[in-house]
Amino acid sequence: MPILVTGATGTVGGSLVRQLVSTGHDVRALTRDPASPAATALPDRVEVVAGDFARPHTLVAALRGVTRMHLVAMDGYGPLTTGAEILELARQAGVRRVTHLGHNDPSRADDDPIEAPHRPLHRAVENSGLEWTHIFPGEFMANTREWAAGIRTEGVVRAPFGDWNSALVHEADIAAVIVAALTEDGHAGRVYQPTGPEPVRRRDAVRMIGEAIGRPVRFDELTPEQAREYWKDHYPTEVIEWFLEMGRHPDGSGWVAPDVEQVTGRPGRTFRQWAAEHADDFR
Ligand SMILES: NC(=O)c1ccc[n+]([C@@H]2O[C@H](COP(=O)([O-])OP(=O)(O)OC[C@H]3O[C@@H](n4cnc5c(N)ncnc54)[C@H](OP(=O)(O)O)[C@@H]3O)[C@@H](O)[C@H]2O)c1
């Protein structure tokens, strides 16, 4: 029976698909556009199906014959609002196990304006009647790809908070935790928070990318005001304010969780390794 992977064309989902295929599992990949370059680049053995979370009934065909699925909580930058409906369709189709990749900052209250919109989905997963596992990672190493254009064209990264210290996590480690939760017993009702193995300051991440591509990259630190202006065409206002609010606490994300090593049996990959693997994105 295939494992249904939603978000299969994304950063974590792509790694998840490759890891499942390489360990002999049949994978069905959901995408809104099976003809997109990201979908056509999926491994040959993967069955690609169309479906859109915004219209849950479009997932009915994708769910047929599936007992395990991975749900990415994507709806633009906001939380997935159709999660309860999708999970009910999944239950009716015979799905028994779900991994849920989403957002949660345990240090913030349930009524925090950034956190509150995500909570209904968390509850929907927990009340779905399925064996569930929440995956709430730290900041992705892959987020640094937003610097790629500036590095390629000018050799510069412009961002606020150079001392922001974050245990950036490799997408393959998040995916490895999800593989374990989907394919092994013993993960039901667990909440995993994959992080990287060490905190990395933003200015050090820039330096390591420079080392990976073999030429120095300058870090121009923006003030919060400059960052607002710089990001205004790329992110919604509330997302910018969230980034800035996080950045005001320099050690806010430096916390290293043991989950990757505990679940997968090996330490998380470092940012240096990620930068070497992804150097071509910045060249
Ligand atoms: N970035 C971070 O630092 C961070 C930290 C903690 C948690 N997270 C969580 O990680 C998740 C994002 O993972 P990611 O970065 O791997 O994703 P991503 O690379 O941004 O890719 C998004 C995926 O979601 C799919 N998707 C988007 N809207 C959809 C819709 N309406 N219907 C069906 N599929 C849809 C896309 O598929 P198609 O385009 O092919 O349809 C794509 O595969 C989010 O839940 C986020 O909260 C991220």
- What atom in ligand 1 is closest to the CA of residue 53? 32
Distances, alpha carbon 158 to alpha carbons 121, 207, 221, in Å: 34, 13, 6
Q: Is residue 129 part of a domain?
A: yes
Q: Is 45 helix (H, G, I), strand (E, B) or coil?
A: coil
**Ligand 1 within 6 A of 114 CB?**
no
Q: Is residue 94 part of a domain?
A: yes
What is residue 262's predicted lDDT score, i.e. its pLDDT?
98
Listed residue (95, 85, 22, 88) closest to 56, CA to CA = 85
Q: Is residue 256 part of a domain?
A: no
Instruction: List average pLDDT for each run of 10 residues in the chain, which is 283 residues long.
Output: 97 98 98 98 97 97 98 82 97 98 85 86 96 96 97 97 93 98 98 97 97 98 95 89 81 84 98 98 97
Q: Is residue 106 part of a domain?
A: yes
Ligand 1 centre to CA of 273 (Å) is 23
DSSP H helical ranges for 94-194: 119-126, 148-154, 171-183
What is residue 239's predicted lDDT score, i.e. its pLDDT?
85
Q: Whose CA is nearest to atom 27 of ligand 1?
A: 74
User: What value, to the nearest 5°, has the Cα angle with vertex 163 and ends 76 and 112?
Assistant: 45
CATH number at residue 86: 3.40.50.720
What is residue 251's predicted lDDT score, i.e. its pLDDT?
63
**Ligand 1 within 6 A of 115 CB?**
no
Q: Is residue 46 part of a domain?
A: yes
Q: What is the domain extent for residue 124?
A: 3-136
**Ligand 1 within 6 A of 203 CB?**
no
| Phi, psi angles (nearest 5°) of residue 75 | -150, 80
Distances, alpha carbon 152 to alpha carbons 170, 252, 258, 279, 282, in Å: 22, 30, 35, 11, 6
Q: Is residue 181 part of a domain?
A: no
Type of residue found at 130: L
233, burial (CB in 10 Å: exposed 0-12, middle 13-18, buried 19+): exposed
Q: Is residue 196 part of a domain?
A: no
What is residue 252's predicted lDDT score, i.e. its pLDDT?
62
User: What value, to the nearest 5°, has the Cα angle with vertex 150 and ends 140 and 102?
Assistant: 20
CA distance 184 to 262: 14
Q: Is residue 91 part of a domain?
A: yes
**Ligand 1 within 6 A of 74 CB?**
yes
Q: Whose CA is nearest to atom 22 of ligand 1?
A: 10
Q: Whose CA is nearest to atom 18 of ligand 1?
A: 10
Q: Looking at the chain, which runs of residues are DSSP E strands? A: 3-5, 27-31, 47-50, 68-72, 97-101, 131-135, 156-160, 165-166, 190-192, 200-201, 218-222
What is residue 267's predicted lDDT score, i.e. its pLDDT?
97
What is residue 246's predicted lDDT score, i.e. its pLDDT?
81
- Structural domains counted in the chain: 1
